Amino acid sequence: MKKLFPYRLIIILLIVSFFSSCESLFDEPDIQNNPNAVTDVEVGTLLSGTLLGVAMLHEDTDVRIASMWAGELNGLTRAHQGFAQYIVSSQTFSWTTLYPVASQARLIQTKAEAAGDAWTKGIGQVLEALVIAKATDLYGDVPYSQAFDEEKYPKPVFDTQADVYAALQTTLDDAITNLSAPTGSVFAMQDFIYQGDVAKWKAAANTLKARLYLHTGEYAQAIVSAAAGISSVEGDALIPHGTSQGVDTNQNYDFFRVSRPGDTGFDGAYLPTLIQSRISSANTKTDETALYDHYIKVGITAPESLDPNTLDGAFTADAPHPMLTYYENQLIIAEAQARLGDTNQALAALNTVRAGLATGYINGKTFSDVGRKYDAYALDDFGPAGLANPTKLATVQIALLYEIISQRYIFLLMQYEAFNDYRRLAKAMPVVQLPIPLYVGTQKPQRLVYPQSEVNTNANVPQPLPNQFTNVPIFP
């Protein structure tokens, strides 16, 4: 693993990279070493810089590729056309942002513990878990147990994905304990996610635990964690954005509208097909026309093109971007309860999300009330002749699961969790999948490819090297 950046330098670079949309800054070899490294960064400043890094990792190219591979988005020209056709190599990907950000989250914990500050340590643990969860979800086996001591472990081992998941659950348990402490420091000005509200950070930790339990099929544990998770949309972990280009704009807006208009879009993707099929169905309790228009705007880059709505919808310059949300938390409960056979509890959680969507709220924005309808479902709606069972699935449980999975897929647009679902649902019992077609060939993409820099410098990289079609262990 490449040498971790000096602490003050990484914070400056993260801020510049995030606000200037210039990911290539991290590829410059000269920034890997600094003889004047500073190690006395104040923990509040460290927290702010680390949050910026975590935010960037939720809006980067890896997430965009994951969205394309889940069928939500399509690559239409230049490099992204190749990505959509699953043409990637070890040169495509980089960890020069991912692991330095994780190391800064670990440094927050070290400094907070030395100061007796349990709350800030807990926040640092949640940030670490967010970063490492992304790493293992997209790459499989990754360094974790030896990842943050470069002097002792210059070539860290790759922990098995199962061990990483177990360790993340322990990290989050410790975070919840620390965030439950009676006292601690509050860095409201530096915390642009929750403004120092430790109760919200604690709930977010539980939602992340629930997400990981859903991945591993531990549904009872997912329900328990989600019950203590984000309890309202006011607790959504959203990355805030503004309208100053090159300063604070949403990175999806920058890509879709400013730097690479037309490189990606919804033409040929499954997402618009799914939503349109729901709009045209006989389901009189649902109308997703408004949500479709919130996501998709016709003709921005070319006549009749299906473009991300950067004008007045989900991808405007100032659109917040989700990391963990109340809707996801409820949909975790819905799916887990349905898989355990409690369709009443599953339906209650799904209807909670529908009630929220009926208000027009989604990820910090409000979409139009024209063509917006989400009436509460009854279990009969999922029967053989039910209005929410258009394909006549055999049982209420299967039909309800199909609706929950469909709602997750639509809601998780431009979040890598949709790619997790794409792979996870092939093995989750009972098996219920969306008919997402492949863009090319017969092989489904299963993971991102280990970066060449890691292959060159760390002999512990798994061998033989897995390619993009090799399953990760957690989703065999």
In a domain, 33, yes or no: no
In a domain, 402, yes or no: yes
How many structural domains compose the chain? 1
What does R_g of the chain's alpha carbons equal in angstroms?
Answer: 22
| 3-state SS record for 358-405 | HCCEECCEECCCCCCEECCCCHHHHCCCCCCCCCCCCCHHHHHHHHHH
In a domain, 400, yes or no: yes
Element (H, E) at 324: strand 321-324
Q: Strands 286-287, 306-308: parallel, antiparallel or unpaired by DSSP?
A: unpaired
> Helix, strand, coil shares of the chain as percentages rounded to 5?
50, 5, 45
How far apart CA 469 and CA 447 sit, in angstroms, is 7
In a domain, 119, yes or no: no
In a domain, 403, yes or no: yes
Domain containing 276: what range?
A: 230-440
How far apart CA 301 and CA 298 sit, in angstroms, is 9
How far apart CA 186 and CA 168 sit, in angstroms, is 24
In a domain, 150, yes or no: no
CATH of the domain at 288: 1.25.40.900
In a domain, 195, yes or no: no
In a domain, 299, yes or no: yes
Q: What is the pLDDT along the chain (476 residues), one digit of tens a residue?
A: 443 333 344 444 444 444 433 333 334 343 344 433 445 789 999 999 999 999 999 999 999 999 999 999 999 999 999 999 999 999 999 999 999 999 999 999 999 999 999 999 999 999 999 999 999 999 999 999 999 999 999 999 999 999 999 999 999 999 999 999 999 999 999 999 999 999 999 999 999 999 999 999 999 999 999 999 999 999 999 999 999 998 999 999 999 999 999 999 999 999 999 999 999 999 999 999 999 999 999 999 999 999 999 999 999 999 999 999 999 999 999 999 999 999 999 999 999 999 999 999 999 999 999 999 999 999 999 999 999 999 899 999 999 999 999 999 999 999 999 999 999 999 999 999 999 999 999 999 999 999 999 999 999 999 999 999 999 999 98
